[in-house]
Amino acid sequence: MKNNFIVYVLSDSVGDTAEQVARAAAEQYENTDYEIKKFPYVESLKKIDKIMENLNPANSIFVYTMVNKEISEYLQRACKEKGIPYIDIMAPSLDKFTGFLNQEPIRESGVIRKLDEDYFKRVEAVEFAVKYDDGKDPRGILKADIVLIGVSRSSKTPLSMYLAHKNYKVVNIPLVTGSKVPDQLFEVPRRKIIGLMIDPSDLIEIRRERIKVLGLDNSVDYVSIEKIYEELEYAQKIMKKLGCPVIDMTKKAVEEAANLVIDIIDDLN
């Protein structure tokens, strides 16, 4: 004869953790037939009273994750009064962590969900930065949180990726002498655009290292000091025309530059 029972899964958040634990435990027993009734976002004592109505204590068991102490203790009292067994999944872990860290938990529901949301936002931002890197598709300018503009090797790509890991959707656009600037740059709010400038002597050294990696020689225009001055002058004119803030990237680490960009964006928004 099968044992039929109902597992009441309660949580002040989504309740996925409690449900997974309840199923994993219930599946360990043969000759049983169980049903799971899940109640997410239990955030009031009245909701517990409503759940307790019309249930059969003889075939019920409660499994729950509650970080709200008042609601958790109320649920425990209600279960004891009706003789219903209950499992508080969070309490043993919180007790151990409290003793280990010597501090009380914040008791905020949905923390894991918030972390998951933050993770997926970061992944989306990184994918965005890759898709619209180096002016691949100027349409991304209209969708971006931040638009970086500058000459080649002014740290646009590494800065874009670093900012993406901070959850910002970033597009970077190269400014090349003689090439048309995307129209979209003049369609977005100036507060979203950041110009990147760099000292010519530093830029030439960075480019020389780059062509060495590519197996090219130093005679190309890419490392010509006259060409570099021309490019920087052109970039400066574009930035002035756009009226955007400008950061000097000379000797700056990506982390330092990223903090400057974030400060500028936050101040202007």
Sheet of 146-150, strand order? 170-174, 146-150, 193-197, 246-248
Q: How many CB atoms lie within 10 A of CB 236?
A: 15
CA proximity to 52, closest of 41, 37, 67, 66: 37
The pair of structure tokens assigned to 223 is: 């490392």
Give one DSSP letter per residue of 127-179, joined into a string.
Answer: HHHHHTGGGS-GGGGGG-SEEEEESTTSSHHHHHHHHHTTT--EEEEE--TTS
Return binding residues: 150-157
Q: Are 95 and 67 in contact (CB under 8 A)?
A: no
Provide the edge-to-edge strand list for the sheet that holds 60-65: 32-39, 3-11, 60-65, 86-88
Q: Which of 47, 24, 43 has its CA nearest to residue 34? A: 24
Selection from 23, 26, 7, 9 nearest residue 64 by Cα? 9
Annotated binding site for ADP: 150-157
210, containing H or E segment? helix 200-214
- From CA 75, how far away is CA 93, in angstroms rounded? 18
Structure tokens at 269: 């928004």
d(CA 124, CA 173): 19
